């Protein structure tokens, strides 16, 4: 029976991908989409960027117990002021130093572009240091607020450096790519940046589906004891922080393959756990700014684990229902949950994406947060402005020569 079901799933997947014609990643070392995904969090070039800690609002400096944490870290690499500025937005839970952004920053800076990297709207630094809503999760609202954030940060950097960039480019990865699509629509109306080109790298297409996938990955770890989970987490941290000084890329790949040579449930849980950690901090920080009365554990300056553990118990679906949509009932729009989810998807921007020839998409056939039908929709919308790789998982192709070629040829 199991063999029959596997055969049926294989046939259905093949049928669903029959209209897709992906570009092959030559000599890509990972066959598993899960391992590919984790590789993208480890492999990055060394790049020296200037760090800024920006205070963008004065009323968050005394939020207990985060006093003095309100400054938002951003990074820049400005070598040629006469060249355009590339604004890079990381994925869910990502900050300005995210691995994926380093890969992109290295590529464009070598061509002379200036670079600015930022935290995602779904990061506690943004929530504490800028956000008025403090509960990210409804993409149209998040993007509208982030647009104001972009204006303020770019203005600060230009004033600090004594320059005015002639043009602006925008690129986002994962959730940052979804937000970049919304930002491009906002900018088409407001014209503050007039983005020359916008690049979307592995965005969620149906945000509801993608967040459910992250919850499922986290649930895969239920078969492990806490001690086993701690071991797996430590092994992944070691893979990221203790990369050996090797002479060539093949040695680095061999090291990474050894570190993530784990059973599928472990790989799923490691991915799900990293994203659940980001959610925990969003809930923990946001409820000190806008307390909805959901968390019951008290918070103390030096004893915080009780409230942190309570925040960690919420899934992404719990968070959307209990926090984001509860808050939206007070502030609007008053819409059914299904409609709110639809408005947060890439589907809602179909006309914008189809008609704007300056927006480009790069995705992977085996990305773990989308389905083949999502990718077929994207192919119909973007046409020749879409590059689809046959492998790479979620952002695991970003360090490859093929990614570099297909990205940079669009500039």
Question: Can you tell me whether residue 343 is helix, strand or coil?
Answer: helix
Q: What is the pLDDT of residues 286-341, one digit of tens each?
A: 999 999 999 999 988 888 899 999 999 999 999 999 999 999 988 777 788 888 89
Chain centroid, CA 184 distance in Å: 17
373 lies in which domain range? 19-206+277-312+334-408
CA distance 318 to 326: 11
CA nearest neighbour of 89 among 212, 210, 215, 193: 193
Q: What is the CATH number of the domain that holds 384?
A: 3.40.50.1820
CA nearest neighbour of 360 among 382, 327, 335, 391: 382
> Is the pLDDT confidence value at 229 over 60?
yes
- 6 belongs to a structural domain: no
Sign of CA dihedral 255, 258, 264, 268: negative
Q: What is the pLDDT of residues 262-292, one digit of tens each?
A: 999 999 999 999 999 999 999 999 999 999 9
- 155 belongs to a structural domain: yes
Q: What is the pLDDT of residues 376-389, one digit of tens each?
A: 999 999 999 999 99
What is the reported pLDDT for 11? 39
CA distance 383 to 40: 26
Residues 84, 114 contacting (CB under 8 angstroms)? yes
Question: Can you tell me whether residue 231 is helix, strand or coil?
Answer: helix
DSSP-H helix ranges across 220-371: 226-241, 249-259, 264-289, 305-312, 316-319, 325-331, 337-343, 350-355
Mean pLDDT for the stretch of residues 109-135: 97
What is the reported pLDDT for 19? 85
- 182 belongs to a structural domain: yes
- 187 belongs to a structural domain: yes
Mean pLDDT for the stretch of residues 384-407: 97
How much is the CA Rg of the chain, to the nearest whole Å?
Answer: 21
Q: What is the pLDDT of residues 68-101, one digit of tens each?
A: 999 999 999 999 999 999 999 999 999 999 999 9
- 253 belongs to a structural domain: no
Enumerate residues 6+ apart whose C-beta is below 8 A from 280: 308, 311, 312, 314
CA distance 284 to 268: 24
Mean pLDDT rounded to a whole number for the chain: 92
- 130 belongs to a structural domain: yes
Cβ atoms within 10 Å of 168's Cβ, excluding its own: 21
- 244 belongs to a structural domain: no
User: What is the number of structural domains in the chain?
Assistant: 1
Percent of the chain with pLDDT over 70: 95
CA distance 205 to 379: 12
- 190 belongs to a structural domain: yes
Buried-exposed string 32-43: b where 16+ CB fall within 10 A, e elsewhere: bbbbbbbbbbbb
> Is the pLDDT confidence value at 37 over 80?
yes
Question: Strand order of the sheet with strand 198-201?
Answer: 50-54, 72-77, 114-117, 85-89, 168-173, 198-201, 359-364, 386-389
CA nearest neighbour of 354 among 329, 327, 386, 325: 386
Q: What is the pLDDT of residues 3-14, one digit of tens each?
A: 333 333 443 444
Rounded to 5°, angle at Cα 306 from 300 and 310? 125
């Amino acid at each position: 029976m199991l063999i029959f079901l596997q055969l049926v799933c294989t046939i259905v997947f093949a049928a669903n991908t029959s209209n897709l014609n992906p570009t092959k990643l030559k000599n890509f070392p990972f066959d598993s989409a899960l391992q590919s995904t984790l590789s993208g969090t480890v492999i990055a070039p060394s790049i020296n960027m200037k760090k800024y800690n920006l205070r963008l609002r004065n009323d968050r400096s005394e939020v207990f117990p985060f006093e003095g944490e309100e400054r938002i870290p951003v990074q820049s690499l400005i070598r040629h002021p006469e060249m355009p500025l590339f604004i890079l937005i990381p994925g869910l839970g990502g900050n300005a130093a995210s691995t994926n952004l380093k890969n992109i920053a290295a590529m464009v800076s070598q061509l002379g572009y200036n670079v600015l990297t930022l935290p995602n709207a779904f990061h506690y630094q943004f929530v504490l240091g800028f956000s008025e809503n403090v509960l990210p999760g409804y993409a149209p609202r998040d993007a509208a607020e982030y647009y104001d954030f972009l204006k303020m940060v770019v203005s600060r950097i230009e004033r600090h450096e004594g320059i005015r960039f002639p043009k602006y480019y925008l690129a986002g990865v994962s959730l940052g790519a979804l937000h970049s699509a919304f930002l491009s629509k906002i900018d088409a109306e407001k014209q503050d940046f007039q983005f020359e080109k916008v690049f979307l790298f592995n965005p969620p297409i149906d945000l509801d589906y993608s967040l459910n996938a992250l919850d499922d990955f986290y649930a895969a770890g239920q078969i492990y004891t806490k001690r086993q989970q701690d071991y797996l987490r430590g092994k992944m941290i070691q893979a990221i922080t203790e990369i050996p000084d090797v002479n060539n890329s093949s040695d680095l790949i061999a090291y990474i393959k050894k570190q993530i040579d784990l059973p599928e449930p472990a790989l799923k849980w490691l991915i799900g756990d990293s994203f659940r950690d980001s959610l925990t901090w969003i809930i923990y920080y946001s409820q000190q700014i806008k307390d909805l009365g959901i968390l019951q554990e008290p918070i103390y300056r030096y004893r915080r684990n009780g409230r942190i553990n309570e925040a960690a118990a919420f899934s992404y679906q719990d968070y959307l229902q209990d926090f984001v949509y509860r808050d939206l009932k007070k502030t609007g729009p008053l819409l059914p949950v299904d409609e709110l989810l639809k408005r947060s998807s890439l589907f809602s921007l179909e006309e914008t994406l189809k008609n704007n020839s300056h927006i480009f998409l790069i995705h992977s056939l085996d990305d773990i947060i989308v389905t083949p039908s999502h990718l077929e929709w994207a192919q119909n919308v973007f046409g020749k402005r879409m590059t689809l790789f046959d492998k790479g998982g979620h952002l695991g192709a970003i360090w490859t020569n093929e990614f570099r070629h297909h990205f940079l040829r669009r500039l």
